[in-house]
Homo-oligomer: A and B are copies of this chain.
Amino acid sequence: MIEATFPHHLVQNAIVSSLQEDLGLAGDITGNAVLKADEIISCSITAREAGTVAGMPLALATFKALDPKIKLAKKMSDGDKVKAGDVVLAIKGNSRATLAAERVALNYLCHLSGVASLTQKFVQQTKGTNAAICCTRKTLPGLRAFQKYAVRAGGGRNHRYGLDQAVLIKDNHIASAGGIKQVLERVKKLASHMVRIEIEVDTLAQLETVMNYKVDAVLLDNMKPAQLEKAVALVDGRAITEASGGINLQTVKKIAQTGVDLISVGALTHSAPIFDFGLDYR
């Protein structure tokens, strides 16, 4: 179902750029010299470990781009859980095109499945709590739309996509505006009514001041579990509560048990190791 939310309108430009990055002007000089021109091969993309798939539409589009007649039998969809040995895609097509597309297709699939699988690990840790896992703007340049989608494929939720999608007020903003009251008045006056307003606080005292005003969400930065519990109690449902700051797979469960609504984790998109897929001849 997640795959239906894939940003398909961005695929063609992404694929063309990535293929040019790998093929340059000369193309696959190995395949061009060595492979028979009209050889048809059968191969499949197989998981080498357990995790969550993301990026299938990019993989498919990459192979199609170099061989419009290629036969692609999709065995898994984004969001599906796989184990080592599971085939996600069976391929029958021209050998030159298939091998020329292989690396680009796998680079997308392995990276995005890495993001989804890491997200899923965090999500697992929050089971039984109310907390959702979400991403940040700490993404890899050029890959944000696909990474944010992979977070969803892994069971996570999206924080704002960019500076244009929501207001997030930090210390420096408050200082420049002259105080919490002033900053919120300015936002109310100048920002669109269609964007949410979140404000970052470091202490419970700050949070208390903030809660005198109406905000959509509070970002509780670098708070310990005990503090977070108090913060959640203080907010008392009047705003979405988001915990943030260096949260990892070891600490996330404790954070989730404090009752916060959201836990944002930069590592989902800035430090996810790849998920290992390989292409094997059959």
Residues of A within 8 A of B (CB): 1, 4-5, 7-10, 12-14, 16-39, 41, 65-66, 95-96, 99-100, 103-104, 106-108, 110-111, 114, 132, 134, 137-145, 148, 157-169, 172-173, 176-177, 183, 186-187, 189-196, 198, 216-217, 240, 242, 261-262, 267, 270-274, 281
In the A-B complex, the 6 residue pairs with the closest CB atoms:
A24-B164, A4-B37, A26-B164, A271-B273, A25-B145, A142-B142
A161 to chain B, nearest CB (A): 5
Asked whether, in the complex, the Cβ of B35 is within 8 Å of the Cβ of A177, the reply is: yes
Q: Which of the residues B35, B161, B267 comes within 8 Å of A273, measured between beta carbons?
A: B267
B176 touches A24 (CB 8 A): no
Identify A95's interface contact among B14, B96, B99, B176, CB under 8 A.
Answer: B176
Task: List chain B residues, Cβ under 8 A from A198.
Answer: 194
User: Is there an interface contact between A176 and B134, defined as CB atoms closer than 8 Å?
Assistant: no
Residues from chain B with Cβ under 8 Å of A38 in the complex: 4
Contact of A142 among B138, B143, B164 (CB under 8 A): B143
Residues of B within 8 A of A99 (CB): 172
Q: List 6 A-B contacts (CB under 8 A).
A: A29-B191, A33-B186, A33-B191, A159-B194, A160-B194, A216-B216
Partner of A18, one of B1, B17, B141: B141
Given A4-B96, A25-B21, A37-B1, decide whether A104 and B141 contact each other with a Cβ distance below 8 A: yes
Pair B23/A9 contact, Cβ less than 8 Å: yes
Inter-chain contacts of A177 with B (CB < 8 A): 34-36
Indicate if the CB atoms of B25 and A107 lie closer than 8 Å: no
Residues of B with C-beta under 8 A to A20: 9-10
A7-B25 CB under 8 A given contacts A142-B142, A267-B273: yes
Copies in the assembly, this chain: 6
Contact across chains for B145 and A143 when beta carbons are under 8 A apart: no
User: Which listed residue (B8, B41, B187) contacts A34, Cβ 8 A?
Assistant: B187
Considering the chains assembled together, what is the distance between the CA atoms of A270 and B13 in angstroms? 22
Selected from B7, B27, B138, the residue in CB contact (under 8 A) with A103 is B138
Would you give the shortest CB distance from A80 to chain B, in whole angstroms? 15
